[in-house]
Structure 1
Amino acid sequence: MRHTNHIKGYLKVEIIGNDPERFIRHCVRERIKMWQITRKNETTLICYVELIDSDTLQKGLKETNCRVHILEKSGIPFFIKKIQKRLGIVAGILFFVAMLLLLSNMVWSINVDGADANLEEQIRTILKQNHLYEGSLDFFVPDTNQLENALTTKLTKVTWIGVSREGTTYHVNVVQKKYPKPRKVTGPQNLVATKQAIVQRLFVETGQPVVESDQFVKAGQLLVSGVIGNDKTVSFVSAKGQVIGETWYHSETQIPLVSQYTLYTEQSYQKYRLRFWHLSAPLWGLKKKPYTNYDLEKVTKPIRFLIWRTPFTYVTEKYRQKKMITRTLTINEATEEAIDSSNKKLLAKLPKSSKIIESIIDEKKVIKGKLYVRSHQVVHENIARAQAINREQVKRKINEKKD
């Protein structure tokens, strides 16, 4: 009986009077529930009674000339009254716990090691674009593998980059590419050819040209001399300028005539779940499969409280819609693409001022659905490089000529 009246509430009371049984009979007539009635003495009964309005209780006490002493109050209504009296304390405790939970899952610092100032600024900008910055909630930060891919894709001056998380701190370790510093030739110098070519144009700032346009030169051949004068008076200068030569390169490229590739649309759908052990409750997004073809990116973030990891995890599922595209090329289209691809690869290896003058197809054939193209490119590029002058050796040769 006590449990059935717990929701409504009940009282444990002492009924005091010359004839307390009259009050019991009155409650029975009024259908007021009472149970566990025991006698304390001749004038006092102890029992449990359901919670009723005070007017009904006062009426019964007046008719029976009894009075009631409340010993215990139980049930949800009394519990709610207790909470209401301590509402400020309860609200403060809940707010304090919520703030601790929030701060325990916040990113407090991001350490970048192994990067210079400019690279570190670029890294922090990319991380911020991916919702990782000091003060952000860890729930919305992508997985460390996704962060590494985003950084590696956009940073060209990095050999290796790693992202890890420790508590409320993210660590980014960087290994920058180290390019060898170009050796600067100090003092007198000549300009010599870096490869065989046919000289097209000369732009000489200082020094004495020793080759002409349309002249064939070999690698290491002198182009512009830093030795000026005759056998009697010789002076040494630092030869400077550019010698544009015509060079030749060969390439082989293969292009499939029919190919399939995946194209992502701009459509995406996200689901958010709260998981407790093996149980999962959806927070947002109820569609089972929003698209027919899609790629699923799932990020699972543990919910922490101070230094402890709770059994709750926050799961983000991102569905990216995709579609399969079949591309069919004609022989002419595939040939143009092959030439364009080989030209881009070649220019990536040459100095920035280089220009491809002509691309000539030497051979093309179709084998097993692929077009094979063999071609050569005619390029105009600067073929001059500095070479230091050995003054003593030059003077010795001049003296040998005089003798």
Structure 2
Amino acid sequence: MLINLMKFIRGYLKIQVYGFSPERFINLCSNRNILIWGLENQNHQYEMFLSVRDFKKLKPILKKTNTKLKITERHGLPFFLYKYRKRKMFFGGIILFSIILYILSLFIWDIDVSGNYSRTDNVILDFLSQNDVYHGMLKKQISCEQIEQMIRSEYDDIIWASAQIKGTRLLIRVQENTDVGMITENATPSDIIATKDCIITSIITRKGTPMVTQGSVVKKGDVLVSGRVDVYNDNGEIADYQYYAADADIYAKTLEEYNEEFDIKYTSKNYTENEKLRFYLRILNKKINIRSGKISYNEYDMITNESQLKIGNNFYLPFILGKVQIKEYVSTTSTYTKDEAIARGNKMLKEFCEILIEKGVQIVENNVKIHIGKKSCKIDGFLVVIEKIGKRVDTEILSIPEERTNTDELE
């Protein structure tokens, strides 16, 4: 790629060599380090490519070998500039365009966040904007190390963050810790408490004192694992306390309530073949309509797609091209039959269960019923599930009673 670019910048020719001894001409070119490529034999005439610089060295070789040459093609920047030498506005436009591209390359026009699951991109982008990191800022004003530190400091569950500038993009990669059992080395002493009423099905404690066992019935807010560990003396009395960030995997059987309702009568959209397109260009925060007009449809849907213009993979531009698709439809009112209502209710419940399963929840019992009335259909009840539970709260720090401390000293 680089070699072809250099050839284009310097310019090169395609020549045709013929006469008494074209083979000797080729050998002498090789001996004098004249680079030729694309060599072809066409009816005892040789065609080849060589640079403009090497072409100027051919005169003594042609004379010595009694051969002649003919230029058949001219390629490269020197010939392009010569051809359009009188078009000053054209070259002025190229120079102006190059200057604009260079200026645009000094800014950040796209911030890409990945690796985040518990919060959306907009949440992180809003946080960055509040800390003066935003679209359209100068790249030299950005400190990637400072951004990484800000994100880790703001969000406790983000254990790793990386910021990198590529082209006109700021790439932010994060790794979240969504497991309550995983802790950092210097974490604050903490307990793990129940987030809802449940029955413990399994508990594996790595740090702290377990307060429940398998089969224990607990209420919301009960301590499951304490971050305080009692230290006993020889008399079996508490002599001291040690504190840790409780660390455990706790699974429990809980009830997941489900309540949904929808009307028996519903409105459906019957799309016609009528459709209109609108286009606009967004430059920073200013929207410019490229194609607009009056919409004559009584009922319609508008589907908008936006794409940010870019050069290559990482050179994003501050221009967003928008396409609006306007589709006409005619509304009709219908009523669900009993079977249709049951099918829709089951579909809604299935989608809810799939979301739970994606979160690692195991469904062990389904007690959800569908009730069809004259005006609406209700789906309510509860699911018995096994899920990972627990959240962290600070551990209460206790002091050792003085009389006990004095007794230990006398002993």
Q: With the length of structure 2 as denominator, give the TM-score of the two structures.
A: 0.40
Larger Cα-atom Rg: 1
Q: With the length of structure 1 as denominator, give the TM-score of the two structures.
A: 0.41
